[in-house]
Structure 1
């Protein structure tokens, strides 16, 4: 009865160890520790059958006061080797439970008897164990002969099942985590490739208009700073940044002499410029972005009161991304140098958007921009 209680105690401790461990090596070591803590079991270890020429057995984890017994010993699962005819080798080979009643009188244990005697090992139990890398066995030693009777076998057989389940769950968990990390790395590469592609489009436009070089990047920075303050999630902010980087891509269809004209545009030239949101939409609409980038580009000159272009949208008909981009575009344009005027600075830009708040521009976003500037005068500085 006492041995059965010890076996149940070992079972309970091992199951608890399985539930807490985070790595496979931790699981196996914790199981062996649980089996040999506050019990008469002097050594517990888990051996894996290696399919090499010598058919060696690898120690995957062990614990107990007789742990030193395993150092330097040769154990095999080759039936033609004297080191493979002990209980562990037979267990691994046949996948059946093996009981060593008394090491002193079992002739098959003779290769290990001298060292076992030094550590006081007299009996053992070897239980087959499922392992993702092949055949394995849980081996437990006691200082007492005949310590493992048929009465305690069901406990340790159940323990072997729990260990196998724990190993399987942990292995699956690690596999899923590895796959998640691989997907995240792949997504990061795709995101970077997408960003560089978008940036290349923006640079293509900038090459035609050197006076606005960096405009898209600065507009993106301002827009994203506003979105971050609004508490947007990173994925949504990423879409806004990409849209900002190509918001003027439609100007690719505008002659360079108009883009770089050092004076005010005439009505015909202005009409041509006003086509760029629709042109940009047509360029981008068939690209399967996970964000509404083409729509944002199309709407970035729409006004709250419907006076904008190209569709004359009003209020909430305009995406929030587009409303933010409209304000960021005005702020950057006014704060920066243009061929027909010097840079006016961020304070002039803030005064300009205040004039349009509630009529042409989203008043809540204008209010937020003013608050951000008061809290941190450098928040909208050019980079």
Structure 2
């Protein structure tokens, strides 16, 4: 097991070790499959499957499926290890900063709220400042300071800004170093190091060491963030591969929906970080279908009520799978809501209007467009034109009107460039005045 080799016996009688064979036979086990779980060459346990009563031939598709599950488990273990490592490092850095005889704090550059303050700051101002406004805590003011350097460090970005200031609230001179740094949630924040001028000469050497510590902290935080991004991408890839082994259409559908969703989000001018979350959610939005039997997913005729109700469970199944993974965006919630509709007729919770996340509204439109324009076993492809007409018909009833407008604009721009809509379907779509209006003012757009 610790040699990282899979143990696979379709017939327990084939086990060479008699004692092991006897123990297993006493449990009435006929077939056995075990995959060891290794993370960074460390053995963490195994994933085992056994069959009672009957013999089972372990087919290649079984092996691939079980190995995919093992990879997901290993990825989750590695992700948890990285998080624990980050927490340990964070405690170490906080302890180090608390030992420094100078003030260090971090604040949000937009709303001025203090995110971190070391012991020096707490002692000199006699309060716990985290969550409070920096100008209120440090200067006893009810409004942002006229000498605030936020705009300066926004412009200098990577360069530190050093200045001197007499704080009338505590009657002390400080030499202050400000710099933009990247916070652990990805946003840019204000870092301030404040050293009393009266002690400047005594601590000059210490100051240089502390600045090097800040550089080291930034480098380590950057490296840790990169590791977490790699781990998240590995998890997404493993889940996608797992679904593709079961249903290749759903896997390619998720990719198509991701491409269109990102294009819609860009057309709506959503923030880049939000668009990244939309892409991840779209790539995983149908992962819950892995629990749906393949003969129902690919049934070549209409589904029964019971079969359709089973299909509808894929959003809850997907939510349960994804909610345990640590993403920077509400991926599980987006997946849960992508079949909700504006008028409350969707599922699973019948949400309405603003109860639905904008990311889920975008996925709903992109999902409908790709589903209608793609061939399925129970019907031929209807074409992009008919799909566009369908979402426009139900704009502000089933689908968010702003999302529909952005989607139609994206598709019409793409059609101008690559003629993705056939003449027949284009004529079908052009019956709608809104589509004609969008079509008049279009430049080429690359989805």
In the alignment, structure 1 residue 369 sits paired with structure 2 residue 407:
yes
**Aligned twin of 2:386:** 348
Cα gap change, 1:213 to 1:337, in 2 (>3 Å) = farther
Q: CA deviation at 1:323?
A: 0.5
Q: How does 1:76-115 map to 2 (within 5 A)?
A: none
**Does the 8 Å CA contact 1:212/1:338 hold for their aligned counterparts?**
no
**Aligned twin of 1:264:** 302
Given candidates 320, 323, 333, the residue that maps to 2:358 is 320
Which deviates more, 305-314 or 193-202?
Answer: 193-202
Aligned-partner SS, 1:245: helix
**Does the 8 Å CA contact 1:211/1:339 hold for their aligned counterparts?**
no
Given candidates 251, 276, 284, the residue that maps to 1:238 is 276
The structure whose residues are more often strand, as a share, is 2
Q: CA deviation at 1:359?
A: 0.2
Q: How does 1:7-46 map to 2 (within 5 A)?
A: none
Cα gap change, 1:232 to 1:304, in 2 (>3 Å) = same
Which structure has more relative contact order (CA 8 Å, sep 6+)? It is: 1
Cα gap change, 1:371 to 1:180, in 2 (>3 Å) = same
Q: CA deviation at 1:380?
A: 11
Aligned-partner SS, 1:241: helix
**Aligned twin of 1:79:** none
Cα gap change, 1:319 to 1:255, in 2 (>3 Å) = same
Q: CA deviation at 1:285?
A: 2.4
- 1:26-65: per-residue Cα shift (whole Å, max 9, x none)? xxxxxxxxxxxxxxxxxxxxxxxxxxxxxxxxxxxxxxxx
Q: Give distance in 2, aligned partners of 1:246 and 1:357.
A: 25
**Aligned twin of 1:56:** none
**Does the 8 Å CA contact 2:240/2:251 hold for their aligned counterparts?**
no
Runs of 4+ in 1 over 6 A off after TM superposition: 379-383
Q: Which consecutive residues of structure 2, in runs of 5 or more, have no partner in the other structure?
A: 1-155, 160-199, 421-445
| Normalised TM-score (structure 1) | 0.53
Q: CA deviation at 1:186?
A: 2.6
- 1:289-343: per-residue Cα shift (whole Å, max 9, x none)? 3321111111100000000011000000011111111111111212222222333
**Does the 8 Å CA contact 2:250/2:286 hold for their aligned counterparts?**
no
| Normalised TM-score (structure 2) | 0.45
Q: CA deviation at 1:250?
A: 1.4
Q: What is the total number of aligned residue pairs between the two structures?
A: 226
**Aligned twin of 1:338:** 376
Aligned-partner SS, 2:344: coil
Q: Which consecutive residues of structure 1, in runs of 5 or more, have no partner in the other structure?
A: 1-19, 24-160
Q: Give distance in 2, aligned partners of 1:309 and 1:263.
A: 23
Given candidates 189, 195, 198, the residue that maps to 2:227 is 189
CA RMSD of superposed structures (Å): 3.1
